[in-house]
Amino acid sequence: MLRFASIADLHRAYREGHLTPLEVVEHYEQVIQERDGLINAFITPTLELAREQAAALSDPEPTSPVWGVPLAIKDNIAVEDVELTCGSRILLGYRAPYDATAVARLRQAGAVILGKANLDEFAMGSSGETSHFGPTRNPLNPEFVPGGSSSGSAAAVAAGEALAALGSDTGGSIRQPAAFTGLVGLKPTYGRVSRFGLVAFASSLDQIGPLTLTVDDALRIYAVIAGADPRDATTLEEPVPTYSELLKTIQGLPIRTVGVIRDFLESPRLDARIRERMEEVIHTLEREGFRIRTVELPSQRYAIPTYYLIATSEASSNLARYDGTRYGFREEGDDLLSMYARTRGRGFGQEVKRRILLGTFALSAGYAEAFYLRALKVRRMMLEDFARAFEAVDVLLAPTTPYLPFRIGEKKDPLELYLADLFTVGVNLAGLPALAQPAGRVDGWPVSVQWIAPHGEEVRLFHMAFHLERLYKEGTHGP
């Protein structure tokens, strides 16, 4: 059975003539057939499409950073003529009429699409348990959750069912499952990757990014999918360098000062085992010559309520389009209004309905000023707190999650699940880039740290992530 450690490892096999893209697809097809019945990482495998794409790759060696790479795509990202469900009953039978921009760019670069990955319904969840198609299981221990909402994307990579994957991150939905499955997860700057073809949850927060085995793999995918897109007016106009150009820039960065977010490290909700691992990482960075400074972000205490006001308000607006009249699931009624009510009542799951109701309430007459508009003001405070922090430090370091993976069905209180996003939602509210990566293990589980950089400075994330990854490979930093 093949097992690739990275995209570079796969490309080495291609260059040396040991494998062809079609043989690699056949390998992953076998793995999916053997393992996915338990893991439930895929909603819609596209193996026939993958074989066609692989057979068309006739060059003798890789011609792009992702050439011949088999990918899973989160099922809220459009792949032309493939069912697009968002993990929801209400979109059953709907087939995307076009590729998302990120998918189109990956295809043009020679990547191969293995299938659409499971997710919390409409990307609303932190555990991978809310999908209409059943929960995704953590490949490290199938009795535990893999994190969410990009649960299937993370599980597919961690289980060896795909070499890399695309996910989306609205409040931590790439970074959290990366943390729970021992992967690298990148949430780019808001607007760095086009949202065209991404089904909207919260339009001012959503961002597409990769989940991968290594930092270099994440950089390769980022280099391909990032950049301006005329079909998404929120994308940034600055050109994105090529993969090789990014590598040169990253290697030459003069980063020496790392800020540690006190509010996160001293949080009473942070598992003591994760705090201990964080402190070990900090001490290692100090030994490596980095200056460590403690950073205060006072507004972060309001991050969860602010996020769940803004995100649910935007969701209540975005999900109004699913009414049974245009596409997807439809439940007949006695009249138009009863058809709407029955379709949405049976088509949406419990968590999605909960968030629609929360958002509708927050936007309703008499309450919008007290809740939604106040949340927007706090969001501005968060931007200012981060800006002040970056006047003193080059990057920020924080834990990714407050706790380790938990058993499927263990956390039933929605508020407890919302707190899983405690250390991630602030980044989305501020539109900043962040990268989660494994930093050792405790009790058999990976522990993840996240790097946070100023707006548009993904290269700083990669600089630090490459450095920490090298320390672990060399055995410099703990088990």
Active site residues: 74, 149, 173
Distance CA 138, CA 147 (A): 8
Instruction: List CB contacts of 351: < 8 A, sequence separation 6 or more.
Output: 120, 121, 124, 125, 130, 414
Distance CA 417, CA 205 (A): 19
Strand stretches in 88-188, DSSP E:
112-117, 164-168, 184-187
Burial 409-431 (b: 16+ CB within 10 A, else e): eebeebeebbbbbbbbbbbbbbb
Identity of the amino acid at 184: V
Angle 36-142-422 (CA atoms, 0-180°, nearest 5)?
110
Cβ–Cβ < 8 Å for 165, 153:
yes
Angle 420-85-223 (CA atoms, 0-180°, nearest 5)?
70
Distance CA 402, CA 354 (A): 24
Number of H helices, E strands in the chain: 17, 11
